[in-house]
Structures are given as structure tokens and as C-alpha cells.
Amino acid sequence: MHPFDDALRLTPTAEDRYAGRTTAPYGNMVGPFGGITNALMLHAAMLHPARLGDPIALTVNFAAPVADGEFEIVARPARTNRSTQHWQLETLQQGQVITTATAVFAERRVTWTDTEATMPAGLPPPQALPRMSAQNLPPWFRCYDMRVAAGGLTETLGSGHTDSLSQIWVRDEPPRPLDFASLAAICDVFAPRVYLRLGRLLPAGTVSITTYFHAGESQLREQGDRHLLGVARGLGFRNGFFDQVAEIWGQDGQLLATSTQIVYFRA
């Protein structure tokens, strides 16, 4: 079993309730990698017998640190319409709320389609770049093959940079066919932008992340297990919080997801 699927293993315990546990490969400095939490919230709704359609939007709020060990996810369809469905979710540990989330699912129809955002052109392909070393980094980095085309953290440490733009090729390691859950996790692989701006590591953590899924299931399937291009940058840093936006592109030029998060920091 792929470590990602193992981390996503949820056991139904009652109506709307799932039991899960953190796994070592997706460990972060403290508790699990935020991206796996993002994926788990989505996965609980995906698994639910009342689920309608595919994910459109997901917001996950990190209310408290997730402790290593068992957790319970409550996933409730708050409203089901003809072609859309709204979810309220939360993760509990020891009866306390650790994360809250909302999600929107929908049955999509073919309509006029256009990508207005521009995929960065002229980047070296992933095969031409070295894999980022995970040495001295928390375990979850070894779950991704990341190749920095621009804006790597390592190069800015010690110096800082005037902007926080990163362009990074990323796929699951070992390779795994892309699906909604793995895409949700990938939206959170980008280092806090404040590290790049200030050129040093400092206390920082995602407070809330919102992901919009532009791709449907068949478009994800077309990606297979190839690298995706992630583009991340910060917009505003002020008084303890900053935001960072991310776009996830397929190598075929499809905009698969856009994501934004607000991050706590101390500097």
C-alpha cells in the first residue's frame, strides 16, 4: 500500500464519523504535515455514502496542533442540492476540536472553459533538475519528489529575497496516480513564504487553507503520476500573519487547482 493511501486510511465508526491515525512517513516537526490533514478532511467527505459529485472547494482551519496518534473526523453533509453539496467537517482528538473544515462538491457539466492564468513558460523540465534533498528535514519531505525550477528555499537561507515566488515540480514519492486527495496535499507542500523573504527559518504555521479544484476526475487521471508544477508566492505579510497563493499546473498546461492560505508567523 502506498504510504499516502495508508495515511488516508479511515474507518467508519458511526454515521458521519471516521477513525484515523497519523502515520510516520507524513510526520512534520510536530504532528503531521498540514497537507495530509487537508487531504484527510477531503477524503472523509469523499468516502461518505451520501457524497454527491466531485470536490470544488475545500477550506481547512488548523485550530490546534494535531498530536501524533488517533483522531476522529466528523463529516456532515449540511445541505444537498440537485447538483451541489455542502459539507461541514471537524477533526477531534480527546474530544477537542483540532481542525474545522467546509467543503463543496458538485456534479460538473461541460461548459465554456478557459484558463486565464498563465503557466510559467521556459522552465527546465523536472528531468533536468536535481531532486531536492530531504536531509535534515521532517519525514514528509521524503514523501515528495520536488525539483526547484525557481525560488528554492535553500538558496535564500542566510540572505533572503525581495520576492517569495517559487516554481517547483512536485509529485508523490513513490510515484502515485494523481487524485483529489493527493492534489489537496500537494497544495500545501510550499514552504512558508516568510522563510524565503527573510532568509531564515522561524516559527510559522498554516492557520487556514482554501483550495479550489478546477480539474475534474478525468483530468486528474490524465496526469498519471507525472510531476506537477507548483507556483507559490506571498501577497501581504503583516503583524503575525501572511497569505500565500499557489497554482498547481499539469505538464499539459492544465490548471488543476488554485489554493490560498493564511499563515501565522513570529519575526
- Least distance in angstroms from the C-beta of 208 to a copy of itself: 4
Amino acid at 247: E
Grid cell for residue 124:
527546465
Q: 240 — alpha (psi -120 to 50), left (phi > 0) or beta? A: left
Minimum CB distance to a copy of itself smaller for 23 or for 93: 93
- Least distance in angstroms from the C-beta of 5 to a copy of itself: 27
Minimum CB distance to a copy of itself smaller for 9 or for 219: 219
DSSP state of 204: E
Q: What's the CA dihedral at 30, 201, 186, 243 to 10 degrees?
A: 110
Collect all residues with Cβ–Cβ distance below 8 Å to 76 and sequence separation of at least 6: 16, 87, 88, 89
- Least distance in angstroms from the C-beta of 164 to a copy of itself: 6
- Least distance in angstroms from the C-beta of 90 to a copy of itself: 7
Minimum CB distance to a copy of itself smaller for 23 or for 99: 99
Query: Residue written as cell 442540492?
Result: 81
Residues found near a copy of itself in the complex (CB under 8 A): 56-57, 59, 61, 63-64, 78-79, 81, 84, 86, 88, 90, 96-98, 100-102, 104, 106, 108-117, 163-164, 193-194, 197-198, 207-208, 210, 212, 214-216, 233-241, 243, 245, 247, 255, 258, 260, 262, 264-267
Minimum CB distance to a copy of itself smaller for 63 or for 134: 63
Minimum CB distance to a copy of itself smaller for 148 or for 255: 255
- Least distance in angstroms from the C-beta of 213 to a copy of itself: 9
Q: How far is CA 82 from CA 77, 107, 212, in A?
A: 13, 9, 20
Cα distance between residue 147 and residue 136, in whole Å: 17
Residue closest to 225 by CA, chosen among 198, 199, 186, 167? 186
- Least distance in angstroms from the C-beta of 58 to a copy of itself: 9
Minimum CB distance to a copy of itself smaller for 171 or for 197: 197
- The answer to whether 214 and 194 have CB atoms below 8 angstroms apart is no
